[in-house]
A and B are shown apart, each in its own frame.
Chain A
Amino acid sequence: MKFYLRELAHARAGDKGDTCNIGVIVYKKEFYNLILDQVTTDRVKTHFRSLVKGSIKRYELPKINAINLVMENALGGGVTRSLSLDPHGKSFSALLLAMSIEVDEVNSKILLELGRKPLI
């Protein structure tokens, strides 16, 4: 079954110059491997289309079931020069959480029991 990433994880975006980082933390330890396997730098790059012009690095923080995505040239030249209404890219966390994730049977069951709805 497919679910939005939002059903499995929460996220917050931060900025430094023209670099945006997004911390992604799964709600349950069981989901961690799903994001390790599927929230790859390639998929994130595709998902963000032209918003991210530079490279993307991913760091793992297994003790807190999290990854950190660091995206370069992602903020229209940086907070002070950007023409965007969201020059810090703080809303990018919400965009990331709209990625779709293929979830195995066991974890799908957990999500459905939590009242989370799959993608149709």
Chain B
Amino acid sequence: MKNKSIRIGAGASYAGDRIEPAALLAQKGKLDYLVFETLAERTIALSNIEKLKNPDLGYNAMLEDRFLACLKFCDQQGIKVVTNMGAANPIAALKKTTQIIRNLKLKPTKVAAVVGDDVLAYCKNNLDKLKIMETGLPLSSLKGEIVSANAYLGADHMVEALENGAQIVITGRCADCSLFLAPMIFEFGWPQNNWDLLGQGQVCADMLECGANVSGGFFADPGYKEVPNLGDLGYPFIDIESTGNCVISKVDGTGGLINAATCSEQMIYEIHDPAHYITPDVIVDFTSVELIEIGADRVQIKGGKGSPRPEELKVSIGIKEGWIGEAEITYAGLGCMNRAKLSEEVVRRRIEIAGLQLQELRVDYIGMNSLHAEASLVSGFEPYEVRVRFACRSIEKVNAQKLVNEVETLVGKGPCASSLPRIQVREVLAIYSVLIPRSDIKTEVIYEVSCE
């Protein structure tokens, strides 16, 4: 095993993430690797729909802007890039990337695309066999049109791409942490059965996978949790050694904060049983992890453990499941709550008159209870203004449309003195999960070298 240290930076943690801090990290972070993680459960399904409409699209919409801002620094400093910006179409992303490299007149660069996470055909052929994790029922029990099925791949194929000399690796759906783990496995030659080492690697990867969420993003609470210079929030990087020793930090002079508290919040974020966090590469045990502050914005991460990886991989299924209609209207001034409540009464009555079929209707009073419903700590105090929000789900688009129209006509046909309503009708893209055997997933790595 080689004894060395590498630096991996997090340049994005969702599809629409900010670009300036990523460019700054590429320029000043003295990185070896820059990782852009841009997929969520829903993003991959939406990307698949986009690809259906246009076979040249379906990759991250900000890929070009991100690469235009960052790749020149990566080229100058020899920083390798690993990203899932390929989304539903890694090959189109690869072609776009080599074109960007040529336009920027950078050195010839070997770009790899990992394909094979798209298992839609497989799932459609096994509708009765595959069980939905959320409901326990077979996939065939779902009513709507299945538009996507993407498996969460692990680090293996990214490692293969790096071994074959790729400087930029583009994937579709993979586990977020695997993007960060792949450079570690490649650089340190970690054996695939050293589960504790892989577990520690995955703990460190987990710290970066939400980007700035570990460096002061989504943390500030004035008077309780102060974050210096949040506007200039810096994105994080880790220095990790082949032994798994790891320190997380950020570029000097950037805003934000890295301490045991920010790292603790990030570590627990989106895990369930901390002793048994399933990833495609290793089952991670977080319970012995220690977070030690060793300097300003520097935290040492140690104690991650692991056990053998699962034989099945999770697949995210995207399915069209009807429509959501939303409409909001504001009442202000004296008596606004009474007028708001009357508006709800009126809309409910008009739904009845129309015999409208809705699967669910929700009415929120924004400023009172819109996020926490009846668990809200409401005082007797009446606000100066209140925004009423109607939201419904229906199988047919026309019903969602009818509901928002009933809210729209409150102006003139409802209580007095309101704002103009804002309305929206959108399609529901629901997500379910199934497990499929690893051995049934056929992956492939495709390479292209950008030539001048």
Residues of A at the B interface (CB closer than 8 Å) are: 6, 10-12, 14-19, 21, 23, 25, 27, 47-51, 57, 59, 61, 63-66, 68, 70, 77-81, 83-86, 90-92, 95, 98
A50 to B372, CA, bound (A): 9
* Residues in A neighbouring B273, C-beta threshold 8 A: 57, 59, 70
Which of A66, A80, A98 is close to B428, meaning CB atoms less than 8 Å apart?
A80
Say how far A72's CB is from chain B's closest CB, in angstroms: 10
Q: Secondary structure at chain A's binding surface: helix, strand, loop or mixed?
A: mixed
Which of A47, A49, A79 is close to B373, meaning CB atoms less than 8 Å apart?
A49
7 additional A-B pairs beyond A21-B269, A59-B273, A61-B287, beta carbons within 8 Å, are A14-B271, A17-B41, A25-B264, A66-B268, A68-B274, A80-B428, A80-B429
Contact with A along B212-233 (1 / 0, CB 8 A): 0000001101001100000000
Closest to B390 in A: A83
Known A-B contacts A59-B274, A81-B430; the reply to A64 vs B291 at CB < 8 A is yes
Contact B389 A81 (CB under 8 A): no
Say how far A94's CB is from chain B's closest CB, in angstroms: 8
**A-B pairs under 8 A by CB, number:** 126
Which of A16, A51, A65 is close to B372, meaning CB atoms less than 8 Å apart?
A51
- 10 tightest A-B contacts by CB? A23-B268, A14-B270, A83-B391, A12-B265, A49-B375, A83-B362, A14-B269, A25-B264, A86-B371, A91-B371
Q: List 5 A-B contacts (CB under 8 A).
A: A12-B219, A14-B271, A70-B272, A83-B326, A95-B376
Which of B261, B266, B360, B430 is close to A78, meaning CB atoms less than 8 Å apart?
B430
Contact B289 A63 (CB under 8 A): yes
Residues of B at the A interface (CB closer than 8 Å) are: 41-42, 45, 134, 218-219, 221, 224-225, 260-261, 264-275, 286-291, 303, 321, 324, 326, 360, 362, 364, 366, 370-377, 389, 391-393, 428-431, 433
Contact A12 B218 (CB under 8 A): yes
Say how far A111's CB is from chain B's closest CB, in angstroms: 12
* Residues in B neighbouring A47, C-beta threshold 8 A: 375
Say how far A64's CB is from chain B's closest CB, in angstroms: 5
Closest to B287 in A: A61
A17 to B392, CA, bound (A): 20
Contact A18 B134 (CB under 8 A): yes
* Residues in B neighbouring A50, C-beta threshold 8 A: 373-375
Which of B219, B286, B362 is close to A84, meaning CB atoms less than 8 Å apart?
B362
Which of B360, B391, B431 is close to A17, meaning CB atoms less than 8 Å apart?
B431
Q: Secondary structure at chain B's binding surface: helix, strand, loop or mixed?
A: mixed
Contact B431 A25 (CB under 8 A): no
* Residues in B neighbouring A78, C-beta threshold 8 A: 134, 430-431
* Residues in B neighbouring A23, C-beta threshold 8 A: 264-265, 267-269
Say how far A36's CB is from chain B's closest CB, in angstroms: 15
Contact A64 B41 (CB under 8 A): no
* Residues in A neighbouring B219, C-beta threshold 8 A: 12
* Residues in A neighbouring B272, C-beta threshold 8 A: 16, 19, 21, 57, 59, 68, 70
* Residues in A neighbouring B224, C-beta threshold 8 A: 6, 10
Closest to A17 in B: B134
Known A-B contacts A64-B260, A80-B41; the reply to A12 vs B268 at CB < 8 A is yes
Contact B393 A81 (CB under 8 A): yes
Most B CB contacts (10 A, CB to CB) among A16, A17, A18, A61 go to A61
* Residues in B neighbouring A51, C-beta threshold 8 A: 372-373, 375
Say how far A115's CB is from chain B's closest CB, in angstroms: 9
Contact A85 B389 (CB under 8 A): yes
Say how far A48's CB is from chain B's closest CB, in angstroms: 5
Say how far B441's CB is from chain A's closest CB, in angstroms: 21
